[in-house]
Chain A
Amino acid sequence: MTNRETEWSALLQAADAGDGRAYARFLHAITPVLRGIVRARGRNLAPDDHEDILQEVLLAIHAKRHTRDAAAPVLPWLYAIARHKVVDAFRRRGTAVHLPIEDLAEDLLADPDPDLLALRDSNRLIGQLDPRAAQIVRAVSIEGETPAEVGGRLGMTDGAVRVALHRALQRMAALVKGEDR
């Protein structure tokens, strides 16, 4: 939790001093988190819309970059912008979204382990799993099937699918961590 705060504020501090690469790293670091928030809130919208909304939020963060108080924590500033823009973007697409501060804070403060949503994009990682686990992750995380549906197709119980999914995601998280080092 404090990790994100210190890491992101260090990146932004460097960015404000003119380090464009630190700024790019900051934007890359917040992207999966924001994408997760947008996807989790916008299940009724098409995936293309999700990426558009994410980009709107990133643009807003960029456009309002100067409003950050260098002496204050980064995360509340970031939630305030993200919340404002996500609510706004959904409203303009005709979908009301309820975004309580507590939930958003939870999303942003979540353990910095690579989360499910960030991993969704990572076909390469999925390819490193055994075929059955890869099939389950793709079906549930990307195609959005329920564990029961997947279980029906693979001849597994709902519970067994959940366990397999959980293990696969842990394995993927471990792979990501291994790569980071």
Chain B
Amino acid sequence: MRATLIATLSAAGFLILAGCQTTPEDQQAAAAGVEDRSKPGAGKPGAQAQPVERPKIAAVDVTSGRKDAASALKDPASILSKRNIYFEYDKFDVKEEYRPVVEAHAKYLRENPNARMLIQGSADERGSREYNVALGQRRSDNVKKVLMLLGAREAQVESVSLGEEKPACSEHNEECWAKNRRGEMLYSGEF
């Protein structure tokens, strides 16, 4: 039953994946890129230099494109720098407000097939340590499910739990506990 459900969700994920790979935005972005490169030559004199420079510029674009994607993970201005999903008490669903963050990371994983992600789920300090490991796992599993529905592959994502062992905040109050009920998305080299 559970296996069937996961299979269904995965299938849905692949459909979305297939859909996402040919999104109009992507096509527009690609078209815009081509257009940009041709603009200087088209709009200005000295267009004869263009055939020589063009392949070189294209190569630089590809490299800088990759660099941009990786550095976007750390760039505070990029949504990809956001890694934490916070959860309500005794709740495990990824709230609507975190949808854009998870979607951005799913897109990154789709576009970077070699990227690997570890999702560490956490619980607040109340109660049994081992039960809290299970609660943190339920949170990270749910983040993983959403990522996979959005096209990330199973081999790219591992969901684990830190239970209550690595609190982001160490006070014993609700404000702190809310910060500790989280799922944190980390890429290779970050954990």
A binds B: no
Binding site for B on A (CB under 8 A): none
Binding site for A on B (CB under 8 A): none
